[in-house]
Amino acid sequence: MSERESPRDVVRAACAAYGEDAVTDWCVAFLGGEISGEAAYGAELPKLVAITGSDNPGGWKSPVDPVNYYWIRVWAARVFLYVWRDDVVDVLRRAADDPAWRVREHVAKITAQRELGQLVDALLPDLGHELPRVRAAVVRAVGAAGEFEHAEAIRRLADDPDQTVRAAVERALTKLEERLDRPVH
């Protein structure tokens, strides 16, 4: 990806070249672990290049240290912010428990953007994550896609030490009330 190409532009170019279904299938395979990190930087590198716009998206020395393989799942998840197919929900549900917080954060972002209520419960454990950005992403997902019974879980973060999380809680509770057309306090 050049400095001028946004992730959205890279994904659009990949879809134009290979088709949305092919790109979606690759990302499901990356995110679900069907394509390993080793394969992603080996035989499957053209797929990784297509979704990131770079033959070395992490800028790492070769060979890539396996500790960085989780980035492949992050980049694959990011694609679902721009391309969608309903069967992706299953791999996102599994990814909500990914060992890498950046992957889980992206699942929360996708859940919020696409209003995927069926993923909210899987995200709730990260309301206690040590990083404010992860907590805030989950709070936003709950506001966008949660139900009445989820309000209490995010309300507990109203006094979070991080201002970003506190602001996300306030907006999420308001959004829940508007979406559900009922008070959640």
pTM for the model stands at 0.94
3-state secondary structure of 84: coil
> Considering 62, 92, 122, which residue would you say is the last residue of a domain?
92
> Considering 92, 112, 142, which residue would you say is the last residue of a domain?
92
Q: Indicate the range of 49-63, 74-88, 119-133 predicted with least confidence.
A: 49-63
> Considering 37, 67, 92, which residue would you say is the last residue of a domain?
92
Residues 139 and 161 reside in one and the same domain: yes
Structure-token pair, residue 12? 């659009």
How much is the pLDDT for 4?
72
CA angle 61, 63, 67 (to 5 degrees): 90
The total of structural domains in the chain comes to: 2
pLDDT for 8-52, tens place per residue?
999 999 999 999 999 999 999 999 999 999 999 999 999 999 999
Q: Where residue 3 falls among pLDDT bands split at 50, 70, 90? A: low
Residues 112 and 73 reside in one and the same domain: no
